[in-house]
Amino acid sequence: MNPAPDSIAEIVRVAYLLSVSNDPGLRQVGAALTVWLEGGCKGSLEAELGLRQRGGVSPGRKMALDARNAMLCRLARDLPDWASLAPGAAARHMRSSFDQYHASRWPRERDNIDSPAAEPAATWWRLLRSETAVPNVKRLQQILADGNSIGRLNFPAAPSSSCSTNDTKVRNDLQT
């Protein structure tokens, strides 16, 4: 999909400003934008910027998965019944809880404006509304065990998915 014509003029301006920056990384981004613009805005800008390889995960998808993983880790850490369990056992209990919520409460709550007040239903509702799939037990166990999904992008503002990361750090990362 090509940007609107008035957006292109703004992108050309940004590309120029980046290309004359003193920062080599910003100049590189400006050059990639220029190549993309000169190519008629065809193809993936993410690929041109080097953020996505053929068949790779987009930055937006990566951020959504990191946010999902952080929510799952926080849930496992904060619920007393799951906090003391090993990652495998916690993953099985969490997946069972999710499956029960999805089958029984989600059909009634899916159109609600606000999430349920109590956990774990609140997290399950948020994940279902975000259309970010709750992983299978094996993947959930991996997320809980090492807190890292598919690797970190080299963006300082990307939210961490570490289970040991506190909520304040995640909020600060999201604001920068």
Residue with the larger pLDDT of the pair 165 and 59? 59
Residue 38's pLDDT is 79
pLDDT in tens, 105-157: 999 999 999 999 999 999 999 999 988 889 999 999 999 997 643 333 333 33
Residue 3's pLDDT is 56
Average the pLDDT over 49-60 and give the result.
Answer: 68
pLDDT in tens, 4-35: 556 778 878 888 888 888 888 788 888 878 88
Note if the pTM is more than 0.95: no
- Cβ 69 vs Cβ 160: under 8 Å: no
**DSSP string of 38-69, one letter each residue:** HTTS-S-HHHHTTS--TT---HHHHHHHHHHH
Q: How many CB atoms lie within 10 A of CB 114?
A: 8
